[in-house]
Chain A
Amino acid sequence: MADTIQRQEFDPLATGGANRRIRARVMIYGVLTLFAAIYLLPALIIFLNTLRPLDEIVRQGFISWPGTMSLSHWGEAWSSFCIGGTCEGVSRYFINSLLMTVPATALSTALGLVNGYVLSKWRFRGDAWVFGVITLGVFLPAQMTLLPWAFVLGKLGLSNTIAGLVLVHTVQGVSFTTLFCRNYFLNVPDDLIKAARIDGAGFWRIFRRIILPLSPPILIVTVIWQFTGIWNEFLFGTVFTSGANQPITSAIVAFSGSGTGERHYNVEAASVIMAALPPLFIYLVGGKYFVRGLTQGAVK
């Protein structure tokens, strides 16, 4: 008896089951919508406040429907807002971040690609040790490297420069890209390489003809991860650069942390969105690869 009742619940034609299922559907979509609101609200709140006049924000706070709206604060945030004495808006810091992120991403990805190719396809004595040391770099906390980096950058004359940050992020990033690329190339059949070698192809020819054509998927993953990671990084930027040479994350903290004077919340909100846009754009465009990088990075 009990058996038949329970079977009915999973019979798609039973009316009781249908009612239940509709109720379950409403519940599922209801809860999903509620959580989606919690996840999206901060973005919406900040965006609306970039459009509101300052006195309105000061009077009513951030969480309130805008009365009048204008796009002018975006222009101010980009080109004339004063941060720590310089009045060039965030454009300067945005460009600093680009000048830091693009070369560091390109260099660490290129090196990681070749390293990954060697470590997966050209076995030699001690390769496990080499791979081990490189991989440890992924886990080493930045705090352990702050003082040595400060010293090395000073010796190289790269203190307080974007070039210094490029160096730091490239060295740190190579561990990560090597790990990713090596794990990816392990899935390329060794026979392919062997056949090419029998045909007389050397190290670089195999790289160009076999490895490179197979790499776009992992290239996209590492570029996305390096770009978002380096763009969003804060500690190195704050410790190794100051004033007009800072990347955008440090600049944001510099203006929102200084408690003196009138706060230009609307302009600050626009600046914060500008600081968030490049990684967000990449995430929206390459979302699939973002998730792939996530799963590979976490499970391996």
Chain B
Amino acid sequence: MTPERARAPIHRRIANLTPQLVLVPTVLAAVIYVVMFSLWTIWISLSQSTLLPNMSFSGFDAYLTLWQSKRWTVAFTNLFVFGTLYVVGALMMGTLLAILIDQRVRFEAVWRTIFLYPLAVSFIVTGTVWRWIFHPQTGVELALKDLGWISAKFDWISDRDMALYVVVFTAIWHASGFAMALILAGLRSVDSDLVKAAQIDGASMPRIYRRVILPTIWPIFVAVAVVLLQFAIKTYDLVVALTQGGPGVATTVPAIVVYDLMFQRGQIAEGAAAAVMILLGLVCVLIPYAVWSSWRQRKEGADHG
């Protein structure tokens, strides 16, 4: 019936190969992009490159220099502080908002829209706007002085010890809606019989959340934490727009060090080494998560089957 049937076998064979042929461009791109680019950067990190790529091998020199530089140790420590506070803060904020919205509030969609919109706004816009608000010459401090509080002081953004917390606050503002949306979906998936049973036992609502609902959705908290950790490790735009890594190096993060070494200071090998460290950071988060979730899926499959 169809014209394909009448054609010669060679056409048929090509037709049978169509699915694989369709994938060729993507596979090529992915192999180049994922495999070759990664190997390339790893190789550069092991080379003697400075301003230009120089492929002669020099071992782990770049890594040693990197780990001995104060900037990198500061950036690394900042990432730990920032990552921890950001993930914990966004999860707590997200849980609180999700529970509030879960109380059969009116105009639920409006509340959700308000809390989630920061996620659609770029880090650049978020950072720029909050910098104006936090900056003593344009923001809160000046507003307080205008209200008559002459000695008002709020200069965290230009204070070496406090600037990192401005980054944490802004990042939580940006991401807590994301946490809220996922946790809310989780709350809605909890078996209502479970909640009813707890109510009949006389448990109060806060207690039901603490003891029954939140513990059942803990895998969602893990998933959200993993995604947020990924964001934290890759964080770049927000810090550039908010503090440019300063004052001094007070808010420098690894991704900023990579850019600086590669494109400002012409230390390509060291920059590549810093990039590889970021990759390793992600691997440390993602591989355990992948192993854990496949283990859980298998277990679930076994439980149901």
Binding site for B on A (CB under 8 A): 3, 6-7, 9-10, 24, 28-29, 31-32, 35-36, 38-40, 42-43, 45-46, 57, 60-64, 111, 114-115, 118-119, 122, 124, 130, 133-134, 136-137, 139-149, 151, 171-172, 174-175, 178, 200, 202-204, 228, 231-235, 239, 249, 252-253, 256-257, 265, 269, 272, 275-276, 279-280, 282-284, 287, 290-291, 294-295, 298-299
Shortest distance between the CB of A76 and any CB in chain B (Å): 18
- Write out, one digit per residue, whether chain B residues 211-241 have a CB within 8 A of any chain A CB (1) or not (0): 0000000001001100100100110110011
Contacts of A291 in B (CB 8 A): 112, 116, 181
Please measure, in the bound complex, the distance between the C-alpha atom of A29 and the C-alpha atom of B234, giving whole angstroms.
36
User: Quick check: A252 and B124 within 8 Å, CB to CB?
Assistant: yes
Name the residue among B29, B181, B272, B278 with the largest chain A CB count within 10 angstroms.
B29
User: Quick check: A39 and B115 within 8 Å, CB to CB?
Assistant: yes
User: Quick check: A28 and B199 within 8 Å, CB to CB?
Assistant: no
User: Quick check: B120 and A282 within 8 Å, CB to CB?
Assistant: yes
Of A148, A235, A279, A299, the contact of B120 (CB 8 Å cutoff): A279
Interface residues of B in 30-64 (CB under 8 A from A): 30-31, 33-38, 40-41, 44, 53
Shortest distance between the CB of B284 and any CB in chain A (Å): 12
Of A62, A133, A256, A290, the contact of B35 (CB 8 Å cutoff): A133
Please measure, in the bound complex, the distance between the C-alpha atom of A137 and the C-alpha atom of B120, giving whole angstroms.
22
Contacts A148-B37, A235-B237, A291-B116 given; does A3 touch B26 at CB 8 Å? no
User: Quick check: A137 and B30 within 8 Å, CB to CB?
Assistant: yes
Interface assignment of B263: CB less than 8 Å from any CB of chain A = yes
Residues of A contacting B: mostly = helix
- Write out, one digit per residue, whether chain B residues 274-303 have a CB within 8 A of any chain A CB (1) or not (0): 111011001000100000000000000000
Contacts of B112 in A (CB 8 A): 291
Interface assignment of B65: CB less than 8 Å from any CB of chain A = no
Contacts of A233 in B (CB 8 A): 122
Shortest distance between the CB of A96 and any CB in chain B (Å): 14
Contacts A36-B111, A145-B33, A298-B224 given; does A234 touch B123 at CB 8 Å? yes
Contacts of A265 in B (CB 8 A): 132, 138
- Write out, one digit per residue, whether chain B residues 172-187 have a CB within 8 A of any chain A CB (1) or not (0): 0100011001100100
Interface residues of B in 1-46 (CB under 8 A from A): 1-2, 4-5, 15, 18-20, 22-23, 25-27, 29-31, 33-38, 40-41, 44
Which A residue sits closest to B226, measured CB to CB?
A298
| 15 other A-B residue contacts (CB within 8 Å) besides A42-B133, A276-B121 | A10-B199, A29-B105, A45-B129, A57-B138, A124-B19, A141-B282, A144-B37, A147-B40, A147-B271, A174-B30, A203-B15, A232-B122, A279-B120, A279-B122, A290-B120
Please measure, in the bound complex, the distance between the C-alpha atom of A6 and the C-alpha atom of B111, giving whole angstroms.
32
Which A residue sits closest to B38, measured CB to CB?
A144
Binding site for A on B (CB under 8 A): 1-2, 4-5, 15, 18-20, 22-23, 25-27, 29-31, 33-38, 40-41, 44, 53, 96-97, 100-101, 103, 105, 109, 111-125, 128-133, 137-140, 142-143, 146, 173, 177-178, 181-182, 185, 199, 202, 204, 220, 223-224, 227, 230, 233-234, 236-237, 240-241, 244, 255, 258-259, 262-263, 268, 271-272, 274-276, 278-279, 282, 286
Please measure, in the bound complex, the distance between the C-alpha atom of A36 and the C-alpha atom of B123, giving whole angstroms.
20
User: Quick check: B41 and A147 within 8 Å, CB to CB?
Assistant: yes
Which A residue sits closest to B99, measured CB to CB?
A28
User: Quick check: B120 and A283 within 8 Å, CB to CB?
Assistant: yes
Could you pull out 22 A-B pairs where Cβ atoms are within 8 angstroms?
A7-B202, A28-B103, A57-B138, A60-B143, A62-B138, A130-B27, A139-B286, A141-B278, A145-B33, A145-B37, A145-B41, A146-B262, A174-B30, A200-B4, A200-B5, A204-B18, A232-B122, A232-B124, A279-B120, A287-B116, A295-B185, A298-B178
Contacts of B237 in A (CB 8 A): 234-235, 249
Contacts of A299 in B (CB 8 A): 182, 220, 223
Shortest distance between the CB of A26 and any CB in chain B (Å): 12
Contacts of B119 in A (CB 8 A): 283, 294
Of B22, B38, B117, B125, the contact of A275 (CB 8 Å cutoff): B125
Contacts A140-B279, A141-B233 given; does A60 touch B142 at CB 8 Å? yes
Which A residue sits closest to B146, measured CB to CB?
A60
